[in-house]
Amino acid sequence: MRYLILLLVFTFCVGKKSKDSEKPDWAKKDIRDYSDADLERLLEQWDEDDDPLPPDELPDGHPKKPTPSLDLTKLDLSSPEELLKASKRGKTVMMFVRMNGVSTKEEADQLSSVWQVGLQNNHIQAERFAIEDDRVLYMFREGSQAWEAKDYVIEQEQCEEVMLEQQTYLGKHCKQCSKEDKEKEAKKEKEKAKKKKKANKKKTEL
């Protein structure tokens, strides 16, 4: 219920019909351009009238909740994605998905709901918003889960592309991308798998 209230406040704060001159600068931004600092301001605005909770009882993604310590000895330092994933543990992360084969927000919402169930079946919790006729936003309170969600979504037939932390990932069945784009993405995934295999081999040897 607490998360639902936060989502309602989020929608209200971003989408309310007030004059631009009455909004702070951060509230005038497109939702896709929100930074971590903007999200913190949104959460602080929501919590203004709440009784304060102990830091360790705050919801995942709250800027005042202590983040887990980063143990570099357990990470593959050759993988930027692995490091980024670890750095977002306990933080809020947004992921944008463009679809193909949909033409209205209602259709986008319906399809994203199916994907949301698939994520939940993989123990990944995310809230979702249909923001355009062919684009949806997934919000993760536990930010480290966003990369697992990305791997799941790009496999879906109607996924065109995923944007996560300023990186774009093409869907495996994208319709608008060129043959060269697909080959480039496949090469990148192959190199990524090779590095992961090499890192796992080193860990085994240790």
pLDDT in tens, 161-184: 999 998 999 999 998 887 777 777
Q: Give the DSSP letter string of 76-139.
A: -TT-HHHHHHHHTTTB-EEEEEEESS--SHHHHHHHHHHHHHHHHHTT---EEEEEETTEEEEE
Q: Of 48, 50, 43, whose CA–CA distance to 139 is shortest?
A: 43
Q: Using the predicted structure, report yes or no on whether residue 136 has a pLDDT greater than 70.
A: yes
Model pLDDT, residue 149: 97
Between residues 125 and 6, the one the model is more confident about: 125
Q: Using the predicted structure, report yes or no on whether residue 98 has a pLDDT greater than 60.
A: yes
Q: Mean pLDDT, the chain, as a whole number?
A: 77
C-alpha triplet 12, 54, 46: angle, nearest 5°: 10
Between residues 7 and 104, the one the model is more confident about: 104
Strands 167-170 and 93-99 turn out to be: unpaired
**128 near 139, Cβ under 8 Å?**
yes
Q: 3-class DSSP state for residue 169?
A: strand
Instruction: Please give the share of the chain, as a percent, with pLDDT higher than 70.
Output: 62
C-alpha triplet 172, 174, 179: angle, nearest 5°: 90
- pTM over 0.75, yes/no: no
Instruction: Please give the share of the chain, as a percent, with pLDDT higher than 90.
Output: 40
What is the rounded average pLDDT of the residues 10-39? 61
Task: Choose from 46-50, 63-67, 118-122, 198-202 the range with maximum mean pLDDT.
Answer: 118-122
**124 near 148, Cβ under 8 Å?**
yes
Between residues 30 and 94, the one the model is more confident about: 94
pLDDT band at 64 (very low <50, low <70, confident <90, very high): low
Model pLDDT, residue 85: 85
What's the residue count for the chain? 206
What is the rounded average pLDDT of the residues 114-120? 97
Residues 6+ apart with CB under 8 A from 118: 152, 156
Model pLDDT, residue 60: 61
Q: 3-class DSSP state for residue 159?
A: strand
pLDDT band at 204 (very low <50, low <70, confident <90, very high): low
What is the rounded average pLDDT of the residues 142-148? 94
